[in-house]
Amino acid sequence: MKILKICKEAITSNGKMGKVIIIDMLVEKKEGDNESTKTELFFDMMMMVLVTGKKRDEKESAKLLLEAGFTHYKITPILG
């Protein structure tokens, strides 16, 4: 939250308009997509070993962006 708020201040200071691009993995509730499941499990293991992370679904991510002051956002799910 703190980082997002600082980003919001930076991109809107002095009348500027900018964008923040966030690349993150979201938890999805759909079944049967083997590639997505493998990728998600890999990232789960990385988060457990390397950092203390939190997985969010699309609704939780949207709430976080709104609380940080981003009223316009677009979430584009891709596996890449």
Percent of the chain with pLDDT over 70: 86
Least confident piece of the model among 8-12, 14-18, 70-74: 14-18
Q: Closest Cα to residue 79, out of 34, 48, 44, 46?
A: 34
What's the predicted TM-score (pTM) here? 0.65
Q: What tens digit of pLDDT does each residue of 52-77 get?
A: 767 788 888 899 999 999 988 888 87
pLDDT band at 16 (very low <50, low <70, confident <90, very high): confident
- Indicate if the alpha-carbon torsion angle 20, 47, 43, 56 is positive or negative: negative
pLDDT at 5: 92
